[in-house]
Amino acid sequence: MSLPGAPYPPIDAAITLRATQWWLTLQSPEASPASRAGCARWRAEHPDHERAWQHLHDCSAALASMPRGVARAALASPPPRRGRRRAIALMAATAVAAGSWQWQRGGALLAWRADHATGVGERRRVTLQDGTEIDLDTDSAIAVHYGAAERRVRLLRGAIAVATGTDVLARPFRIGTAQGTLRALGTRFTVQMHDDATAVAVQAGAVEVRPADPAAAPRVLQAGERTRFSRARIDPPEAGDVADTAWTQGMLAVHDMRLDRFLAQLARYRHGRLGCSGDAADLRVSGIFPLDDTDRVLDALPHLLPVSVERWTRYWVSVRRRA
């Protein structure tokens, strides 16, 4: 089954984004009757609202129905116009690269420091002694230290979603990263580590952001805000989005995202190398994609964009623009 084409006449990007937000909200187990009623009202407000919703529904259903064997069949033979010797050499290089890449992602290096960790493609929820719940995203690790004066969690790698519990000792709850410290003020929030910055988004309550540099002024983020910070500065806050927590529901939600960035996000949920050619990098992707089946997402890309997907091995995949 193929994916539906782009709706015609085209739907305004802001409407498509709002439909995506409603879709994610209703996919949550915590979706309330008020949220469902709000979505119904929004869909009824304008014909384009309903068109955007139905297109999202049709794309999701088509993606779910795509046969899982497509990707496995593609692996049975190398892509066309490639020599056998080159293919063998590339597969050998892939085996070496995959091993070193996995080491670099920190599994062995950080395991001894972590109290809780997930592997690539795995997500897990842990409940701490005070009732705080932490969802760990793919390839993530935390260290937990509850002392007499504070409750502290160190994010060693990856991303987490936090819902703080009530502490009978009234100890502050803090998250430490390589760039600084976050203090929860009765809240739900997400944190993701990047190479040179930490991203934080607040869904409820508030969070104090304090960079590691003592000269940098702290900032309190309110519910509905997100930002990134380095060791020396905090970016101006911007409006958050339900896509910030989509991964906790097993989905990757994107809107008008560059293909290279989209593939970088998807690559976090699978082993090996996933990239694209330079002429395909600035193609734009919008939609909601299942994180538990990244091969199916890759199978869908040629239906969404003018690209082809080349699989040399399970661990070396390249997306190229079609001529």
| DSSP symbols for 127-139 | E-TTS-EEEE-TT
- Rounded to whole angstroms, the Cα distance separating 65 from 303 reads 14
What residue ranges do the domains of the chain occupy? 13-77+249-321, 124-244
Predicted pLDDT at 92: 40
Give the contacts of 86 (CB within 8 A, at least 6 positions apart): none
pLDDT number for residue 189: 97
Report the SS3 class of residue 209.
strand
Cβ proximity of 311 and 86 under 8 Å: no
Q: Write out the two tokens for 11.
A: 């739907």
Q: Does domain 124-244 have CATH number 3.40.50.10490?
A: no
Question: Between vectors from CA 322 to CA 286 and to CA 298, what angle results, nearest 5°?
Answer: 45
Whole-prediction pTM: 0.75
Question: Residue 77: what pLDDT?
Answer: 34
Q: What region does 186 belong to: left with phi over 0, alpha with psi -120 to 50, or beta? A: left
> What is the full per-residue pLDDT of the chain (323 aa) written as tens digits?
455 555 667 777 678 778 877 877 787 777 889 989 989 999 999 998 998 888 777 776 666 665 554 433 333 333 444 444 444 344 444 334 444 444 444 455 555 689 999 999 999 999 999 999 999 999 999 999 999 999 999 999 999 999 999 999 999 999 999 999 999 998 899 999 998 999 999 999 999 999 999 999 999 999 999 999 999 999 999 998 878 898 998 889 888 899 999 999 999 999 999 999 999 999 998 888 889 889 989 998 998 899 999 998 889 999 999 97
Dist CA 276 CA 187 (whole Å): 38
Q: What is the pLDDT of residue 64?
A: 64
d(CA 322, CA 236): 39
Whole-angstrom Cα distance, residue 167 to residue 156? 24
CA–CA separation, 221 vs 206, rounded Å? 5
228: Cβ contacts below 8 Å, ≥ 6 apart: 194, 197, 198, 199, 200, 234, 235
Topology given in CATH for the domain delimited by 13-77+249-321:
Phage tail protein beta-alpha-beta fold (3.55.50)
pLDDT score of 105: 47
3-state secondary structure (DSSP) of residue 194? coil
